[in-house]
Amino acid sequence: MSALEDYVGTFDNEPGYLNWAAFGPLSPSVREEVFADADLLASGRPSSLALVGERIGQAQELIAELLGAAPDEVTLQPSSTHGLMHALYGVSGAVIASTAEFPSVSLTLERASTASDRALTPRWITPPDGRVTPDAVAEALDDEVTAVAVSHVDFRTGYRVDLGALRDVVGPDRLLIVDAVQSFGIVDADYAAADVVVGHGYKWLRAARGSGFAWFSPRARERIAPVLSGITGTTASGLVVDELPAPAPSAKAYTVSVPDTLAAGRLAIGVRDVRDAGVAAIEQRLADHVDTVIATADRHGIEVVSPREPHARAGIVTLAPEEPARLAAALANAGLVVTARGNSVRIAPHAGTDAETLRMLDETLDAFGRESFTVA
């Protein structure tokens, strides 16, 4: 069996789950290892605590491997939003972001602006369909702009930004701050095009909450003031009292306190599993499932608002049905788990989504269409 087939074989949740963009049911390996780590912490022995403490370095190394970065440039965070806070609170000048971003970007930018007494100002853009294309960013650029903050994959539409093209537009002198929550581990991207990449383990990595991370490139570390630097973010290595050491000249300056070692373990295992399967192979398998979901919606006459080209999407297919509430109810009644929000229904398979789940979707959309026809 190939590494990908091994990985796909670990998806043991019930058929019907199509909500990976919201939450990833925990993988068997994450479940096993967290129990083992909890047992070690329960012993209270220093050697056992130290063993679990090694999870921090393991997670940093694995994330760095996937990003093509150095392990000490990666910080562990309670959430991806915490990572964005470290980045955005330390920037000044104008920062371009879309008003349609997940609030981890938009709200954090607004709060950082207020805290800076407007030394930082949001430069809001409202591109058509919420798609932050390189052209939409280019239009908003001027000499005041110091950074662009963007989701690699938009949580609503599933639109995937071309990071390389965005870097070309942004140029070498501005920061590119990327929220990779909806892409890390399922998209084989060139993250080196960015300066800051944040993500977390509780969706596509199947590793549960508390597992955020943030990577800061050398350029990011030169330009982002470590405003939220805490007791782990200093030049000191141990506990210091009666002294106020300066922020470290490394990425650890963007940390507050010691990470949750159980969360670090879960994250390390989640990342290890996708690394072993191969992110490119996962991306390809997921693309096949996304094609199937799009074809199923097309067959049943339901509008798809997500991009269709594989390079412009990842794992999200957003539908704009004529009767969204009725479709949401039909899917829930059939045992299909999706995100229904406003007028849209978001379907998010993973590489390990089984044929039975895709068949259930097809059957439900078919029955839904026939029911509308009968009623009309």
Contact residues for ligand PLP (CB under 6 A)?
A: 79-81, 102, 104, 151, 155, 179, 181-182, 200, 212
Q: Least distance in Å: CB of 325 to ligand PLP?
A: 22
Closest CA to 317 of 15, 13, 19: 19
Distances (CA, A) of 321 to 145, 210, 325, 329: 39, 35, 9, 12
What would you measure as the largest C-alpha separation in the chain, in angstroms? 78
Q: How far is the CB of 106 from ligand PLP (least distance, A)?
A: 10
Beta-carbon contacts of residue 335 (< 8 Å; ≥ 6 apart): 14, 15, 16, 360
Nearer to ligand PLP, 214 or 251 (CB): 214
Rounded least distance, CB 87 to ligand PLP, Å: 13
Comparison of 214 and 281: residue with beta carbon closer to ligand PLP: 214
Q: Which is nearer to ligand PLP, 282 or 348 (CB)?
A: 348
Least distance from C-beta 105 to ligand PLP, angstroms?
7
Residues in the chain: 376
Residue 199 or residue 247: which is nearer to ligand PLP going by CB? 199
Cβ nearer to ligand PLP, comparing 81 with 113: 81
Q: Which two tokens stand for residue 214?
A: 């943030």
CB of 134 to ligand PLP, least distance (A): 19
- Closest Cα to residue 248, out of 261, 260, 259, 237? 237
Q: Which is nearer to ligand PLP, 113 or 151 (CB)?
A: 151
How far apart are CB 63 and ligand PLP at their closest, in Å?
14
Hey, what are 70's tokens? 């150095």
Cα–Cα distances (Å) from 156 to 289, 312, 341, 343, in that order, read: 18, 14, 9, 11
Q: How far is the CB of 104 from ligand PLP (least distance, A)?
A: 4
- Euclidean distance between CA atoms 275 and 286, whole angstroms: 15
CA atoms of 274 and 322, how far apart (whole Å): 37
Sheet arrangement for strand 196-200? 74-77, 212-216, 196-200, 175-179, 145-151, 93-98, 120-125
Per-residue tokens: 233: 């973010």
Task: Determine the Cα–Cα distance for residues 58 and 275; give it in Å rounded to an integer.
Answer: 13
Residue whose structure tokens are 């909450």: 209
Closest contact distance (angstroms) between CB of 82 and ligand PLP is 7
CA–chain centroid gap for 243, Å, is 38
Q: Pick the closer one to ligand PLP by CB: 344 or 364.
A: 344
Shortest Å distance, C-beta 4 to ligand PLP = 25
Supply the minimum distance, in Å, between the C-beta of residue 109 and ligand PLP.
13
Contact 318, 340 (CB under 8 A): no
Nearer to ligand PLP, 151 or 296 (CB): 151
State the Cα–Cα distance between residues 86 and 80, nearest whole angstrom: 10
Nearer of residues 102 and 368 to ligand PLP, judged by Cβ: 102
In the complex with ligand PLP, which residue's Cβ is closer, 25 or 247?
25
